[in-house]
Amino acid sequence: MSIINCGLSLPPEKQNTMEKRKITLRAGIVTLFILFAALSRLIPHPANFAPISAMALFGAAYYDKKYLAFVIPIVAMFLCDLFLNNVIYSSMFDGFVLFYPGSLFTYLSFIAIAFIGFGLLKKVGIKNLIISSLLASVTFFLISNFGSWASGLMPYSKDLAGLILCYAEGLPFLKTGLLGDLFYCGAMFGLFELAQSRIPALRRSTV
């Protein structure tokens, strides 16, 4: 004798609508996390103790539409940079600043770090989050310092010796960057994982 499942199910159209709303809610909350992280750069902080790498990793781990992992963090950073360079640090520049020297390399590092997130954070866990954070810190250090050397932002000679000196003098900032990335990754991922455990609608669909 077979057991007949008499449970009621929603029509496919309504299921699709509910799933789209769930995805939209999740993307909206992820975006808010990234925007708040970007705004934290306006708070006084030690040099390089910033959420830059954490924002890229966070987007890569939690956006269902992967292109948003590139677009949202970069746009958030760009808008924050506009305010910082034209309001907070306006005395350091002559006139309006749309892009500061070396900014292209900062945005390129976002793209590289997002790919790290795609590869290592398919399933978020403490171990792979720490590894991703450390790799992101080193990636940002290598790309951004190369940008400082190549763009002439810092007075280094345009040869191998100048590049090596640029990296050597940037090492103290790497330490601060490592600590900042671990802190922001812990805060952002920890809070979102807590939110997912309390709010089922934020969880990624397994279907």
pLDDT digits (tens, 9 = 90+) for 43-62: 888 888 989 899 999 999 99
Q: Which residues contact 191 (CB under 8 A, 6 or more apart)?
A: 33
Residue 8 inside a domain? The answer is no
Mean pLDDT of 111-131: 95
What own/partner pairs with CB < 8 Å and gap ≥ 24 does 141-145 have?
A: 141/167, 141/170, 141/173, 141/174, 141/177, 142/167, 143/105, 143/106, 143/108, 143/109, 143/112, 144/102, 144/105, 144/106, 144/109, 145/170
Percent of the residues in the chain that have a pLDDT greater than 90, as a whole number: 53
Q: Where are the alpha helices (DSSP H) in 84-204?
A: 103-120, 126-151, 160-198
- Mean pLDDT, residues 95-115: 88
pLDDT at 80 over 60: yes
Residue 87 reports pLDDT greater than 60: yes
Does the residue 4 lie in any domain?
Answer: no
Can you tell me the distance from the alpha carbon of 132 to that of 114, in angstroms, rounded to the nearest whole number?
10
Q: Which residues of 8-21 are buried (b: 16+ CB within 10 A; e: fewer)?
A: eeeeeeeeeeeeee
Residue that the structure tokens 């159209």 belong to:
13
Range(s) of the domain holding residue 127: 19-202
Alpha-carbon distance of 97 to 78, in angstroms, equals 11
* Model confidence band, residue 9 (pLDDT cutoffs 50, 70, 90): low
Beta carbons of 161 and 134 less than 8 angstroms apart: no
Residue 80 lies in a domain: yes
Q: Tell me the pTM.
A: 0.84
How far is C-alpha 151 from the geometric centre of its chain's CA atoms?
24
CA-based diameter of the chain, in Å?
A: 84
Of 101, 125, 114, 104, the residue nearest 53 (C-alpha):
114
Does 37 fall in a domain? yes
Q: Could you tell me if residue 55 is inside a domain?
A: yes
CA of residue 159 relative to chain centroid, distance: 32
Determine how many CB atoms are found less than 10 A away from the CB of residue 156. 19
* Structural domains in the chain (count): 1
170-182 pLDDT, tens digit per residue, is 999 999 999 999 9
Query: Which secondary structure element, helix H or strand E, spans residue 68, and what is its range?
Result: helix 68-83
Q: Does the residue 1 lie in any domain?
A: no
In the chain, % of residues over pLDDT 70: 87
In a domain, 207, yes or no: no
SS3 73: helix
Query: To the nearest whole number, what is the mean pLDDT of the chain?
Result: 86
- For residues 62 and 26, give the distance between their C-alpha atoms in angstroms, rounded to a whole number: 8
The answer to whether position 12 is within a domain reads no
Residue 206 predicted with pLDDT over 90: no
Please state the rounded mean pLDDT for residues 192-199: 91
